[in-house]
Amino acid sequence: MSWLSDDAIFRLQTATALPDLSATRYRIVERIASGGMGTVYLAEDSVLGRRVALKILDVPDTSGELAARLLREAKILARLEHPGIIPVHGAGTLADGRVFYAMKLVEGQRLDELVSRGESLPHRLRLFQRVCDAVAFAHARKILHRDLKPENIMVGPFGEVLVMDWGIAKSLRGGGSLDAAMEPNEGSLARDTSDSAITAHGAILGTPGYMAPEQERGEVGSLDERSDVYSLGAILQYLLKTGLDSSANAPRPLAAIARKAMASNPADRYTSAGELGLDVARYLDGLPVSAYPENIWRRAARWAVRYRVAIVLVLTYLIIRALLLLWFRR
């Protein structure tokens, strides 16, 4: 009797664990990551000859709840056609009943990984602006993300920014209330993620540290765009504090923007992600930001920084002119 080697057993286990995609146009290449509901695989689209990411439920869902949720996530993504939001290519069901959907394969780095490499502050802020744009677009389509954090933002090799993981996104009706048809059953579903920033069980979905206070309290009905604004503020604060020179404080206007976005009272926050992104853009352009009232000295200092090149050129001219005058007078 011959025994299988450990390596052979491992290979067999791996092969049997892989979903059967024979009835689909996709061929699995490798496993990328696991999440609460399912696993994401790198796959080959045999019809179009391109690589995609497949999100597949881990087990056939007898209750239909997880399947409905995965499909709901795919439908939300399909509604959000925006350069800053991961596009979905299609959805379907495997022979064993497991639901899956195919999305763009994003090759790049997560925002938290990128930031830990010490990217410059202006670059971080430009990336952040694009995140705000994508979230503002989703809000315009009445979708709340509810789990915005650096780990859910991918930055591609060409600087493209993609907001990922819309698994607990919430759909709003016109008045801002919940759309029951699109809403996951929060009482019974919980995302269990492998990282430590876990999502709580029960009625609370999100990531501690990035969740708005009302979201942490489980006040599902009171969530609106400003809850995502809070999360964006927390991301901005993360960008200001992580991977930069620890001795240097964050610029005051930026700290004020983050504070305003993270106000405990939603009424004190920016009313939209677009407004928050605009304030960051104004900072980058050397303009005053709404979150940071300036006195005359601060305004003068900002003006001097903004036009420092022109000021240096004028001073250079004056120095040369003075030297010329002295020379003419000799």
Binding site for another protein (CB under 8 A): 309-310, 313-314, 316-318, 320-321, 324-325, 328-329
Residue 33 or 323 having the CB closest to another protein: 323
Angle between helix 225-241 and 121-140 (nearest 10):
170
With contact defined as beta carbons under 8 Å apart, do 170 and 181 qualify? no
- Smallest distance from the beta carbon of 288 to another protein, in angstroms? 17
Residue 4 or 313 having the CB closest to another protein: 313
With contact defined as beta carbons under 8 Å apart, do 253 and 289 qualify? yes
Residue 12 or 318 having the CB closest to another protein: 318
Residue 217 or 306 having the CB closest to another protein: 306
- Smallest distance from the beta carbon of 275 to another protein, in angstroms? 20
> Of all residues in the chain, what percent are helix, strand and coil, respectively (each to 5)?
45, 15, 40
Maximum distance among all alpha carbons in the chain? 109
Beta strand pairing call for 50-57 and 26-34: unpaired
* Residue 147 annotated in active site: yes
Residue 297 or 328 having the CB closest to another protein: 328
The number of C-alpha atoms within 13 Å of 127 and in the hemisphere containing its C-beta is 28
Partners of residue 154 on adjacent β-strands: 110, 162
Question: Which of 201, 99, 211 has the alpha carbon at shortest distance from 145?
Answer: 211
Residue 100 or 137 having the CB closest to another protein: 137
- Smallest distance from the beta carbon of 129 to another protein, in angstroms? 16
- Smallest distance from the beta carbon of 284 to another protein, in angstroms? 14
Name the DSSP letter for residue 248: S
- Smallest distance from the beta carbon of 131 to another protein, in angstroms? 21
Q: Which single residue is written with the structure tokens 């690589």?
A: 51
Distance, CA of 199 to CA of 206 (rounded, Å) = 5
With contact defined as beta carbons under 8 Å apart, do 237 and 262 qualify? yes
Distance, CA of 191 to CA of 313 (rounded, Å) = 58
Distance, CA of 145 to CA of 162 (rounded, Å) = 13
Contacts of residue 287, defined as CB under 8 A and 6 or more positions apart, other chains included, come to 306
Residue 143 or 278 having the CB closest to another protein: 278
Among 45, 147, 165, 228, the active-site one is 147
* Alpha carbon of residue 258 to chain centroid: 16
- Smallest distance from the beta carbon of 67 to another protein, in angstroms? 39
- Smallest distance from the beta carbon of 86 to another protein, in angstroms? 25
| Helix, strand, or coil (residue 92) | strand
Q: Which residues are catalytic?
A: 147
